[in-house]
Amino acid sequence: MLQPRQASLTRRQVLTGLVSVGGLVAASLLVQACSGAAPAEAPTQASAAPTQAPAPTQATAATTAPAQAAPAAAGQLKISFWSSYSGVNGKAQQDQVDRFAKSQNKIALDYQFQGAYADTAQKLTAALAAKQAPEVSVLSDVWWQKFWLGKLLAPANPYMQASNVAPTDFVDSFINEGTRNGNVYWIPFARSTPLFYYNADLYKAQGLTAAPQTWDEFAANAEKVVKRDSGGNLTISALSIPTDASTLAWVFQPMVWEFGGLLSDDQYNITLDQPPAVAAGQFLGDLVNKQKVVSTPKDPVVDFTNGIAASLLQSTATLGTIETNAKFAVGTAFLPMEKQFGCCTGGAGMVLLNTSPPEKQAAGWTWIDFATNDENTTIWSQATGYMPVRKKAIAGDVMAAFYKQHPNFQTAVKQLEKSKGQDWARVGIPNGDNIIGTGVNQITVNKQDAATALKDTAATLRKEGAPILAQLKALGG
């Protein structure tokens, strides 16, 4: 996919949140986090070194910040790191920070939990305006480009070169998403894909030995797994899909690809209203409102783990919690295909803020390198359900042993080989994910025909994306 060139939004525009897009405020305060409002809670606590970890445990609901960091020792360079993980994921992050402190004595890392992805980005916007920004921050895939467009991120390339880390050390699809004009601005950290989860016990009881390979197969077998009350209302649905707009846009995107379409093409043209995307939208709407085998609850994960949905489209990062909470055998599979296979990436990376002096940027990279190296991305993956971000970690003996013990975790890695980065319409247009998800909800929840709903949605996306598109085209992007 063609990578956009550096756009000319001013620093002041980003910091004040007054970038007007089609009459709507398109500052980062309006954008929601990738694949849900908050990162999924995850599996077990991380150990001090990669191990064949036991099955992950249920995440706690803790949302408190880590303990106040100790002041830097004499001769240490202090830097701040902002992150977005609570519960067990937050514990895994804190363990990582503690291991970093024990691994060296030159850098004092002040780790600060800032809330969910959207909260972190909002606070970062305010901190930049107040000239109190951290050196390193976690940002999701629908957030980081807003700061890149404002020329607020430092490329990691010189620091990577100095530490003999090459972009090719990372999973290609992950590192490519954060690269602009040959410079790496967003370093992969907590990365995921959506998976097809299914109730393996229920499937087996109905003579289904595997997950559906195509959406047509899913539709044909749906009645075998659903249950209805005397009034015909679903008591067990064949599939539970989200109504949260951001998450819905994330899981609908690969369905559009599977039907041969795109949200937007590599020249930034919006194609959500074209026949393949409309076909995907109508197919999904018919499953909900005509065939009536798909449900749209507030929390699809809860419905699935409680046994009232036979399958689920959800992030890999939710696998540990799902396996722990479900009272049945959980299966995972590739997303169903149709005309072709489609799967997108998701999650978050780390960025260096260019408001820091070079020596602190270098220290920030030292922390990022540590957190994403082969050993620590392995620990993080086993502790959270996110995928390892470096190739050697994925191919290493430790993860191989872990996958043998926990085969559901390997599904995402195998699927990753066929996955790609997201369309510009979702991650590049301000509020794009919510615009798309809201449009799909018009089909599934409000029973609007797909052609009308997606025509209106596409028009909104064109309007909201026009200012950024004009800047990119002016620069030859």
C-alpha separations of 213 from 191, 334, 422, 465 in Å: 24, 8, 22, 35
CB-based contact 328:202 (threshold 8 Å):
yes
Site of tokens 């309007």: 463
C-alpha separations of 432 from 148, 245, 258, 422 in Å: 17, 10, 20, 12
CB-based contact 192:317 (threshold 8 Å):
yes
- For residue 259, which of 246, 274, 270 has the smallest C-alpha distance? 274
Same fold yes or no, 36-192+349-406 and 194-343+422-474: yes
- Per-residue pLDDT 10s for the chain (477 aa) are 333 333 334 444 444 443 333 333 333 333 333 333 333 333 333 333 343 333 333 333 333 445 455 566 667 999 999 999 988 889 999 999 999 999 999 999 999 999 999 899 999 999 999 999 999 999 999 999 989 988 999 999 999 999 999 999 999 999 999 999 899 999 999 999 999 999 999 999 999 999 999 999 999 999 999 999 999 999 999 999 999 999 999 999 999 999 999 999 998 999 999 999 999 999 999 999 999 999 999 999 999 999 999 999 999 988 888 998 999 999 999 999 999 999 999 999 999 999 999 999 999 999 999 999 999 999 999 988 899 999 999 999 999 999 999 999 999 999 998 999 999 999 999 899 999 999 999 999 999 999 999 999 999 999 999 988 876 666 455
- List strand residue ranges (DSSP E) for 334-469, in order: 346-353
- CATH code of domain 194-343+422-474: 3.40.190.10
- For residue 389, which of 153, 192, 98 has the smallest C-alpha distance? 192
Domain boundaries, the chain: 36-192+349-406, 194-343+422-474
pLDDT of residue 69: 52
Q: What is the pTM of this model?
A: 0.82
pLDDT of residue 87: 82
Tell me whether strands 136-140 and 107-113 are parallel, antiparallel or unpaired.
Answer: unpaired
Site of tokens 């749209």: 296
Q: Enumerate the β-bridge partners of residue 110.
A: 80
Site of tokens 């404002």: 150
| 3-class SS letters over 112-128 | EECCCHHHHHHHHHHHH
Contacts of 361 (CB under 8 A, 6+ apart): 135, 154, 159, 352, 353, 354
- For residue 58, which of 47, 42, 46, 45 has the smallest C-alpha distance? 42
pLDDT of residue 25: 31
What tokens were used for 366? Answer: 């030292």
Integer Cα distance of 100 and 131 in angstroms? 26
36-192+349-406: CATH superfamily: Periplasmic binding protein-like II (3.40.190.10)
